[in-house]
Amino acid sequence: MTEVKQAEWYKDAIIYQIHVRSFYDSNDDGIGDFKGLIQKLDYIEFLGVNTIWLLPFYPSPLKDEGYDIADYMSINPIYGTLRDFKKFLKEAHARNIRVITELVINHTSSQHEWFIKSRSAKPGSYWRNFYVWSDTAEEYADARIIFRDFEPSNWTWDHVANAYYWHRFYSHQPDLNYDNPAVQKEIFKIVDFWLGLGVDGLRLDAIPYLFQREGTNCENLPETHQFLKKLSRHITSKFENRFLLAEANQWPEDAVNYFGKGDECQMAFHFPLMPRMYMAVQMEDRFPIIDIIEQTPSIPDNCQWAIFLRNHDELTLEMVTDEERDYMYRMYGQDQQMRINLGIRRRLAPLMGGDRRKIELLNALLFSMPGTPVMYYGDEIGMGDNIYLGDRNGVRTPMQWSNDNNAGFSNATPQKLYLPVIIDPEYNYQAVNVTLQQQNSQSLLWWMKRLIEVRNSYTAFSQGRIEFLYPDNNKIIAFYRMHQEQLILVLINLSRFTQSFKLDLSNYVNHSITEVFGRTSFPIITEAPYFFVLCPYGFLWLEINKPDIQHSTATAHRHETLTIKDKWCELLASPEKKKLEKILAHYIVDCRWFRSKNYAISKIVIADSILIKNSATPVYLLLIAVEFNDKETEQYFMFVTAETEEENLYASDQPAKIICSLISKNKKQSYLIDAMYTSSAWQDVFHIFSAHKILSGTHGKLEVNVNSLYKKIVNHHDETVEIKALAVEQSNTSILYGKSALLKIYRRCEFEENPEVEISEFLTDNSEFKSPRIACNLKYHYKNKSMTVGIVQEYIPNAGNAWEHTVNAISNLIEQMDLSVPAKGSSALNYPWQKLIHTLPKDITESLGLYAHSVIILAERTAQMHIALAEETTNKFFAAEHFTLFDQRSLYQSLRNAFIKTSALFKSMAVKLDDQLQEKINKHLADKDGLLDHVKPILNQKIGGKKIRCHGDYHLGQILYTGNDFIIIDYEGEPNRPLSERKIKRPPLKDIAGILRSFHYALYTVLNNKTVFTTAHHFDAEEWYCWICHLFINTYLEYPGIKNLMPKDNNCFSLLLKALMFEKVLHEIEYEINNRPDWLHVPCKGLIQLLE
């Protein structure tokens, strides 16, 4: 192994993170100590790591696991003495193991001598100025509250000082005042003390928050970097071969600043990479990893990233977008107990569901990424956690050494342990411990030891650069690691299934390939693409040496026949159930309400069945779980029944959809059908509400919740009421009861309250805004979870929807054009996302025709909706929040992802557009940097405004037209998005972007109609669209109170609107490519509008 410079030893380090109290108890008091740690140094040496990182061990009230320090220059007596620490340091160095300790200098404990003196001192005095004090809690209002679960403010009132003190973390951790030179001088003394003892490196905890400045978010300030340069110069002048490790939980472009020009910190954690490794494995897609690495700026030569999978804190999700955070919560933190702050408090093994292959895969990924890997104690043996211990204690339990009492950690009585050992059946210390795994060469411990050994053999991993390859299979992440003469090809299969792919390795023709673990030789590289196969969650590290050195489901016949004895429901409890599940897998791909048509179905499982009506042809509600090869499982509700008479299948306006044919023992044929296509089933479903029953299923139950409105709009005693289907072939199924009630069945379901229920109830309870009220809620319960099956709401008489009204208005406008007037030439247009035009010319308003009045009403109703949704409330799920720079960064990241995804879609799909439009689209999509330049201003310019619960799927089809007014409906959000993602608060302009894009679609719906072709060429479509957008925006902004929710000025308004228009149009492009290619030209024109 090539030696790294002695001063840069941290580049070749493999760091093992330990809490002294968690590792080994030598004196039987139930708490780990330094003497115990010394006894276990041989184990650390056996493992092969070469650096230990110790969590705080200073005197402390331990309200935050020692990060609340009461004395910087001593050892907490529960861990031993300063002499014990010195001995530990000596023993570690004797084994060539270096030691990193914590330097928590942003704040102290409120019990620190400095704070006790400060709170008692007079304002402006020496000790008072050691901390940040104020007479008001209004200063630095733009700084986010980091521990929102625990702290309401960054200021806390101190009754002794009669003033507020500043704290970015817990209120018992007051922040030091780094504008005071005396504070900096004391910090330098602390640094000198520990480095003078022989400590090799210092981790700077919470380093972005040292300074405060009004009008900023008080993070990453220039003053912080100036102090770090000063600190680094001080250390370099007095000590050799030491380094600083920055804990800066920031996006890469901000975190990289902590290296300076190599004159600040020498290492920094790469926080954004960590969650994206988990995302990539769960999504089975390499994009999250490649994308964040590509966004990571280059760093100075003497610097290195620290990379990790888990640590003593939660799996932080601060540096992800809102959608990515929502995804991580759904995938890895389903139970609320697993979540804390903006993260997930779980260890690696439970996060991976105990799957050994996935644990190995993530470690292989970690150890092959650019940077120094950090391992968390116990993860090398697959330790479990206890999410019920509170705070982050669940991942800080005693190290499991053996199957003896207390996991071999201590001889104390179990009640004395600082935390209980893990006794969960799957991760019980009697089965998961060091002793057992050391005795088993096939254990995870031995596998990790081997991984560490191999990585230590190649500087290409620790010091080399990375170069990605892009095989057609996106489940494969492939890259080179290169350093000097070493060249390693890393191949990782992110999928749970075997994957094959080809790579172009022709740059290395005649080179040999050797697998680095078993030293197995592979065929020599030729000009031809190299073919690889990787097993599920498999990986290969392949050394490339110079020549002189050695799934999808098949289409089924629609009317496959199943045999029954009597009733079709026998299939639900017989061996025939598997056959029915296979048939359903073929059936649902043609259903409009099935969302994931482009994904290969692995299998379908009937997870539950609930009898709705018992008869010769019983009606059942089925909960079906659809499992995929490429994505997470989805769940759907289906009402299913049988029809014995074939002619009845076609009796209604919407012919029934046949699932399969049935044949009974007496050779009588019938048909299993979707019950939502039969009028008798509609009656049966409404009967559930009148009976107010709780219906039990195989595993769960169906519950009806009715309020006082229900009896006013549904009369079950009136047998003359007509019941008919309004929409069966849509994402949901709607059944109209007379002219008073509407039943909506949600096909796609999740264990969470539907947003439509939440928003409708909020609007009813908190505002005068007119929207359909809910009379009944139908819920499915399983254990302690529930999901919304459907609702009954009051029916709003109408003359159609705003979409139909708009299409008719545009058609009439074009048809009534005076053909004798020559068509106007195209003129330069300023759309609202470019520049607001507050007063429209009179001739322009007249040219918009009668529809202008409708647009004004639409804008007013939209403003009223947003004001109602922003109504002041104690309900945290609806309370309006500030739209911050962090939200702006999240939006930018979402747009970046969407740009890249859209470009990839155009490349992978045979997209057909007219030549001119195709040329423009190709030109723009090929220029990724140019695309991103359009939205980059949202990264730095503070936009302001509020974010609220929005409609979420706002378009003209979601608005009823009564003839003289508009009523907004359908608050469930975009059906193809997860429920939790739909509930994320957004700027109100997200809805505005949706309605503006809907105007554009309505316009081209008319223009695509050949009946208006003769006059359409006289109609300047884009000019009409531009002025309609301005009219809508102007009316919306003039509505009283709406500006309180908007960005701070017109420029910020246009900037945010443009970003959200990009977000919407890119989503439309993806949808049209996958579902309606003939309509792709519409969002593509919209994209060109935004770009040009």
Cα–Cα distance measured from residue 1052 to residue 891, given in angstroms and rounded to the nearest whole number: 14
Active site residue 205: yes
Cα–Cα distance measured from residue 1070 to residue 1088, given in angstroms and rounded to the nearest whole number: 15
Cα–Cα distance measured from residue 170 to residue 69, given in angstroms and rounded to the nearest whole number: 13
Q: Are 782 and 700 in contact (CB under 8 A)?
A: yes
Q: Are 647 and 655 in contact (CB under 8 A)?
A: no
Mark 849-858 as b/e (b = at least 16 C-beta within 10 Å).
eebbebbbeb
Question: Exactly one of 64, 175, 200, 205 is catalytic; which is it?
Answer: 205
Cα–Cα distance measured from residue 1043 to residue 1050, given in angstroms and rounded to the nearest whole number: 11
Rg of the chain over CA atoms, in angstroms?
32
Cα–Cα distance measured from residue 949 to residue 848, given in angstroms and rounded to the nearest whole number: 32
Which element (helix H / strand E) includes 17? strand 15-18
Question: Exactly one of 84, 247, 756, 758 is catalytic; which is it?
Answer: 247
Q: Are 938 and 777 in contact (CB under 8 A)?
A: no
Backbone angles phi and psi of 773, in degrees to 5: -90, 150
Q: Which of 221, 295, 312, 358 is nearest to 897 (CA)?
A: 295
Mark 202-240 as b/e (b = at least 16 C-beta within 10 Å).
bbbbbbbbbbbeeebbbbbbeebbebbeebbeebeeeee
Q: Are 937 and 1055 in contact (CB under 8 A)?
A: yes
Q: Which of 277, 342, 327, 146 is nearest to 894 (CA)?
A: 327
Q: Are 435 and 401 in contact (CB under 8 A)?
A: yes
Give the number of C-alpha atoms closer than 13 A to the C-alpha of residue 200, restricted to the C-beta side: 21
Residue 793, strand partner residues: 742, 774
Q: 856 — alpha (psi -120 to 50), left (phi > 0) or beta?
A: alpha
Cα 1016–chain centre separation? 45
Cα–Cα distance measured from residue 97 to residue 15, given in angstroms and rounded to the nearest whole number: 10
Cα–Cα distance measured from residue 376 to residue 380, given in angstroms and rounded to the nearest whole number: 8
Cα–Cα distance measured from residue 1070 to residue 523, given in angstroms and rounded to the nearest whole number: 40
Q: Are 911 and 1073 in contact (CB under 8 A)?
A: yes
**Number of helical H runs and strand E runs in the chain:** 33, 40
Cα–Cα distance measured from residue 509 to residue 505, given in angstroms and rounded to the nearest whole number: 7
**Which whole-number Å values give the CA distances from 165 to 168, 177, 209, 752, in the listed order?**
10, 10, 15, 40
Q: Which amino acid is at 897?
A: N
The SS3 call for residue 668 is: coil
Give the catalytic positions in this structure.
205, 247
